[in-house]
A and B are shown apart, each in its own frame.
Chain A
Amino acid sequence: MKMDRRSFLSFVIGGAAGTALSPLPWKLTDDLAIWSQNWPWTPVPERGEVSFVKTTCMLCPGGCGVTVRKVGDRAVKIEGTKGHPVNDGGICILGLSGLQLLYGPARVPSPLRRAGERGQNRWEKLSWDEALSLVAERLAGLREKKLPHTVACISGTDTGTVPRLMERFLAAYGSPNFIRTPSMRDSYEMTLHLMQGVQASAGFDVEHADFILSFGSGILEGWGSPVRMFRAHSKWKETGVKVVQIEPRLSNTAAKSDKWIPVNPGSEGILALGLARVIVEESLYRKAFIDTYTSGLEAWTREVLGRWTPENVEQATGVDKSTLVALARSFAGARRPLAICGRGRGDTPGSIGEFMAVHALNALVGNINRKGGVWAVPDPDYIQWPEVETDAVAAAGLQQGRIDGAGSKKYIHARHLLHRLPEIVDASDPSVVQALFVLEANPYYTLPDRDLLKKAWKKIPFIVSFSSFMDETARNADLILPNPMYLERYEDVPYARGFNKPLIGLAKPVTAPQFNTLPTGDVLIRLARALGDPVAGAFPWENYEQCLSETLQDMWEPLQETGYQVASDFEPGSGSGAFDTASGKFEFNPEKAREAAAHVSVQARGEAPGYPLILIPSDSMRRATGYIGDPPFVVKTVPETVLKGNDLLVEINPETAKALGLSEGKRAVLKTPKGQARVRVHLFHGVAPGVVAMPTGLGHQAYDAYLAGKGVNFNDLIAAVEDGASGLNAAWGIRAKLSRA
């Protein structure tokens, strides 16, 4: 029998009929429907037991308590810890994105040794033993040459056992060069040291203040501990606390304040002195406090406030006399007024004259160590390790003095002067830094003056990064010894920026380490052992966890439970002992006062004709500026008025735009004495004519594809300006030129 066309058709029809009567089409349809809902790239929640781990966020110095929700072994959500004294259940945009850092592509997978040129991003994996012996050999070699003091470490913080172990390691090895990254913490510490004679951090009882006078502090931009400040801000709105924001740009804080007083950029300190003068002249200060607890007001009034008549202040700041006088009266008239400073997030120290002026305002209204005022929070003292025993080599190294000059005759009150390092390294030959360790910091991104930094960087022969992430510094290092990130390791966090009570947070492992990492504490202990005595002798612990638990003693167990310990009944008091100055009182006019006041407002770099405009930074909660770069989720929240594609937009007044022939979104070249960048312009009435405001936190070259190459790094365009009185970096901006591209 042959199959002709008709037979074939009937075969097909028979087949179709049979198929329709079989389960095949119906079952396939159903299966395909399920298949299409289970594509492998569709995110699927983990299955397993839900658990919560209380730990501490380490993404900024805010010290928030966080609770991580886990399903099985997978961390799935970060929330604020309820009842935590700093953030009480709240969390910021960066904190809640921490899981993208944990599981994201920016992690360093194992110890890495540079395989190509620095910055080429070509790496060779090596074992921990190999990596540690590499470092140990290098360090042993330098010690043999009697050059231990040429080893330096840049660290994001100096409190807590890990930075202290690093400092101890350097001391036992023979180097005094443990350098903390700069921030307003430096200036506040120095202010408290000079005016109150104490070594302490500044805490602000913001919850109980009833009048906030902010000298450019970005209360809603990340100043202090961001979540705490947001909460306080909401509370102020509810209870009618007045907020006056003094700032050249209409920031979020300024926009939400009760009164925004735009000032000439950099002149905030002068305004503070002007206010102080009005308060003194009109006798608006708290007499009882001034008479009992302070000294030197008369001399200070004479020597410092003398020249800052309302007329002079008006000329320098652009704030008219009547506003000044009215502000002074309402500030002094409030029950618990609080003045704060540190521009934006407080990433740069600023001039000490400005900080002392603002602090003096608080003293005039008696709001030092009082409810609603500025509190001196003593540094925690739980780290009680035996003195380091040094040998002759180490002792000689320590005698050399610090490379950055901090503590030397010229910079007697400064503790860390990182901004000076690039210049000093660049000027030395051979480099005064032969080996550089970088711990929880990203100086290759955050230090100003790109060209100088690059030159200095080249001169340092050996750079080791301990970063968990492939940040700019790690990428430009010779060796990366990755620390587990904060959700994978134990570490004590005894500092919450701006918090007014002694607090210790504990970061602890939420998940097992995702990569071949080793806690830096363990690295140091093992390095010390490899170097032998006397360095090894200073590290008697088996491992870091033992060191931490022994150091915390009785606190170790409760910290595991709650994640934090707070001295909730802490009261600094104004009585004896609170002021450890020569007079035993608060000093309005300490030795540095006149000098500081003379430098209250530093000049921006650059000359007017070539650089007619003033460039200032603008911070935002949506752009991380410190050691951590924005995780992908946070990048997504940066609006188009800041970042369009990969282009950064700078803000200028429409008047400036008109004069330059620019309009909204147009491309332009921004040039400063330190560099230039292609940008676009965004017209904004919230900046004064002649001022350019540039968003910070962008222009990363490293991390991941979600962040790298987006925008321009503000730090590349500015330079440090040294405060003549303190040596700290007081730069608040730089002169600039904007032209059509």
Chain B
Amino acid sequence: MSTSDEKVKANGKTEKETPPEQEVREKGNGSGGPILFFFLVGFIASLLVGWIVFPRLLYSKKKQPIDFNHALHVETVEEGCASCHFFREDGSFSGVPKLAKCMECHEEAQGEDPEELKFVSEYVEKGREVPWLIYSRQPNCVFFSHAAHVRLAGMDCVTCHGPVGESTRTKPYEENRITGISRNIWGKSIAGIKRNPWDRMKMDDCAECHAKEAAKGAADLERPIDGFFNNIIRIAFPESLLGRKSSAQTRNEACFVCHK
């Protein structure tokens, strides 16, 4: 059936005049060496591409318009992160401060720092908003309420954002060329491995914490009686509010709690 095989053989014969023994060897099971070699070449090359080349190609690097010193600001302000990243009156979170907020202190340059001078001349004087690149911006399909996590659950900024407040410089902003989303969402590690809770901000990371919290509530050792009765209710009335799985992801219409 395979005529090409014969052709190769014929060509080999005419061009190189391979001795018959060798031909037999190649035809038989003795060709393992080169085949394994090529397998390894392909294997290693693709590993290199997948682990090293691909991540470099996937992300573009951008510099922040101003090299911002968080540590310096945290020292000066009174209310920590909330001094600039505050909740608005209606409970929505303001995120990265607008120029007006910065201008409360920096209407004029306060020091000699070239970055501050640049900020004042380029943005304050011209009345332009600073086009900050936001590391933690989720895709548009995600709805996230800071109020629920910070005000109700009393979480710290650091839990999800890391010790940003201690940084003295802004790191380069790496943007995924396909999605336009910051690398911080997937995490620095291309394998998706994280050491700290703030290393990644994918849905699995939300789920991980939510699952933990849910489990904590179910087996609250400080209130064993509650837990006992709750478990009985769960078993007896699986359709009741308590009976349903308490994970946000498996409740009815739960998708739309976080997905727009």
Contacts and interface: CB of A to CB of B under 8 A. Distances in A.
Interface of A: 1, 3-8, 10-19, 21-24, 27-28, 30-32, 34-35, 37-38, 42, 44-45, 47, 49-50
Contacts of A4: 8
A15 B179 contact: no
Contact of A17 (B35, B43, B94, B176): B43
A53 to B, nearest CB: 15
Contacts of A1: 34, 37
A49 B92 contact: yes
A204 B29 CA distance: 103
B8 A15 contact: no
A14 B39 contact: yes
B55 to A, nearest CB: 8
Given A7-B34, A44-B140, 17 more contacts: A5-B4, A5-B5, A6-B35, A13-B39, A15-B42, A17-B42, A18-B42, A19-B50, A22-B46, A27-B190, A34-B141, A34-B181, A37-B141, A38-B179, A49-B92, A49-B94, A50-B92
B172 interface: no
B153 interface: no
A37 B180 CA distance: 11
A12 B38 CA distance: 8
Contact of B42 (A10, A45, A50): A10
A23 B179 contact: no
Contacts of A21: 47, 50
Interface of A is mostly: helix
Interface of B: 4-5, 8, 31, 34-47, 49-51, 54-55, 58, 88, 90, 92, 94-95, 139-141, 176, 178-181, 186, 190-192, 260
B15 to A, nearest CB: 11
A663 B192 CA distance: 68
Contact of B95 (A10, A19, A47, A50): A47
A668 B39 CA distance: 77
Contacts of B260: 45
10 contacts: A1-B37, A4-B8, A6-B31, A6-B35, A14-B39, A15-B43, A18-B50, A22-B50, A23-B55, A37-B140
A10 B45 CA distance: 13
Contacts of B90: 50
Q: Most chain-A Cβ atoms within 10 A of its Cβ — which of B4, B42, B176, B260?
A: B42
B42 A31 contact: no
Contact of A15 (B4, B46, B140, B190): B46
B34 A5 contact: no
A10 B36 contact: yes
Nearest to A21: B47
A22 B41 CA distance: 15
Given A7-B38, A17-B43, A18-B43, A38 B180 contact: yes
A1 B4 CA distance: 20
A39 to B, nearest CB: 10
A44 B92 CA distance: 18
Contacts of B54: 22-24, 27
A251 B190 CA distance: 66
The 8 closest A-B pairs by CB, nearest first: A22-B50, A14-B42, A18-B46, A15-B42, A14-B39, A14-B43, A24-B50, A11-B42
Given A10-B38, A11-B41, A23-B191, A31 B178 contact: yes
Contacts of B191: 23
Q: Most chain-A Cβ atoms within 10 A of its Cβ — which of B35, B38, B176?
A: B38
Given A4-B8, A15-B45, A18-B44, A31 B176 contact: yes
A70 to B, nearest CB: 12
Contacts of B192: 23
Contacts of B95: 47
B88 A31 contact: no
Contacts of B51: 22-23
B38 A31 contact: no
A4 B33 CA distance: 13
Contacts of A42: 140
B219 to A, nearest CB: 33
A317 B185 CA distance: 76
Contacts of A11: 38-39, 41-42
Nearest to A6: B35
Contacts of B45: 15, 18
Contacts of B8: 4-5
Contacts of A22: 46-47, 49-51, 54
A50 B181 CA distance: 24
Given A38-B139, A38-B140, A49-B94, A23 B50 contact: yes
Contacts of B46: 14-19, 22
Nearest to B16: A2
A49 B44 contact: no
A35 B31 contact: no
A14 B39 CA distance: 4
Contact of B178 (A7, A17, A35): A35
A7 B35 contact: yes
A37 B179 CA distance: 9
Contact of B41 (A14, A16, A19, A23): A14
Given A22-B54, A23-B192, A50-B92, A37 B40 contact: no
Contacts of A19: 46, 49-50
A28 B179 CA distance: 10
Nearest to A13: B39
A18 B179 CA distance: 25
A47 B141 CA distance: 13
Contacts of A37: 139-141
Contacts of A15: 42-43, 45-46
Nearest to A14: B42
A47 B55 CA distance: 29
A10 to B, nearest CB: 4
A27 B58 contact: yes
Contacts of B31: 6
Given A22-B47, A23-B191, A37-B139, A10 B35 contact: yes
A205 B88 CA distance: 43
A30 B58 CA distance: 13
Nearest to B96: A47
Contacts of A12: 42
A83 B8 CA distance: 90
B42 A13 contact: yes
B129 to A, nearest CB: 10
Contacts of A28: 178
A49 B89 CA distance: 10
Contacts of B41: 11, 14
A45 B139 CA distance: 12
A44 B138 CA distance: 13
B47 A49 contact: no
A78 B160 CA distance: 36
Contact of B38 (A3, A23, A50): A3
Contacts of A50: 88, 90, 92
Nearest to B179: A34
B92 A8 contact: no
Given A22-B51, A23-B191, A35 B179 contact: yes
A536 B49 CA distance: 76
Nearest to A17: B43
Contacts of A34: 139, 141, 178-179, 181
A653 to B, nearest CB: 50
B127 to A, nearest CB: 13
A3 B8 CA distance: 12
A220 B104 CA distance: 53
B38 A14 contact: yes
A50 B88 CA distance: 9
A32 B42 contact: no
Contacts of A44: 140
Contacts of A18: 42-47, 49-50
A42 B139 CA distance: 13
A17 B43 CA distance: 6
Contacts of B92: 49-50
B86 to A, nearest CB: 11
